[in-house]
Copies of this chain bind each other. A is one copy, B any other.
């Protein structure tokens, strides 16, 4: 039995992930408490409801997939268009990968997203902030047209929803999707790159 006093949020979330991978959406707080060998009262002190537990699992999962995106936004290798493309492809790829390799957690993330929770709003806001750093750098380097980087970043994020939003994860075939992303990418580039820039 886990010592209740040392029961950390991380331990609970690790266990919750395992249980969710096994039982999916049917998982209850009680199931997680059982595996942890603590009373469900103890667990409810950490997570007041099943919804709260699912959100916490999703939040940590989103944080994990955001780390490489944060790294790309903070480094300055390559041109701004190159970094922008790598950033978008990393986002798209990580979602595709999770949908394929971790379908249970992905389906919980999809459900939390469709409920329009504050958590998802904050996550989208955070991703757009990362994206706007790259756009801003491109504006400073006079590769991208001048303008408000936050607004441009939000436009780019919304224009690529087809490729990274969980609702579209299992839609269409990979080849068509890649081809469609290429078309949208060219449209975005044409929209943001200065006419006097040679790529």
Assembly stoichiometry (copies): 2
Of B161, B168, B172, B190, the contact of A190 (CB 8 Å cutoff): B190
Q: How far is the CA of A175 from the CA of B160 in the complex (A)?
A: 20
Inter-chain contact B180/A187, CB cutoff 8 Å: no
Residue contact A154 to B183, C-beta cutoff 8 Å = yes
Please measure, in the bound complex, the distance between the C-alpha atom of A183 and the C-alpha atom of B159, giving whole angstroms.
9
Residues B171 and A184 in contact, CB atoms below 8 Å apart: no
B195 near A195 with CB under 8 A, answer yes
Residues 148-165 of chain A, each 1 if its beta carbon lies under 8 Å from chain B, else 0? 000110111011111001
Given the interface pairs A116-B172, A192-B190, the reply to whether A184 lies near B167 with Cβ below 8 Å is no
Interface size class of A (residues with CB under 8 A): 20 to 34
In the assembly, what is the distance between CA of A191 and CA of B159, in Å? 12
Contact B158 A168 (CB under 8 A): no
Residue in chain B with minimal CB distance to A186: B155
Distance of A21 Cα from B162 Cα, bound (Å): 29
Q: How far is the CB of A196 from chain B (nearest CB, A)?
A: 10
A95 on the B face (CB < 8 A): no
Which residues does chain B contribute within 8 Å of A99, judged by CB atoms?
none
| Given A167-B168, A168-B161: A187 and B152 interface contact (C-beta under 8 Å) | yes
Asked whether any CB of chain B lies closer than 8 Å to the CB of A62, the reply is: no
Contact B187 A156 (CB under 8 A): yes
Query: What are 19 contact pairs spanning A and B, CB under 8 A?
Result: A114-B171, A151-B183, A152-B187, A155-B184, A156-B187, A158-B180, A158-B183, A159-B160, A159-B162, A159-B184, A161-B161, A161-B162, A162-B162, A162-B165, A165-B167, A187-B187, A187-B191, A187-B192, A190-B192
Please list the residues of chain A having a beta carbon within 8 angstroms of any beta carbon in chain B.
Answer: 114, 116, 145, 151-152, 154-156, 158-162, 165, 167-168, 170-172, 180, 183-184, 186-192, 195
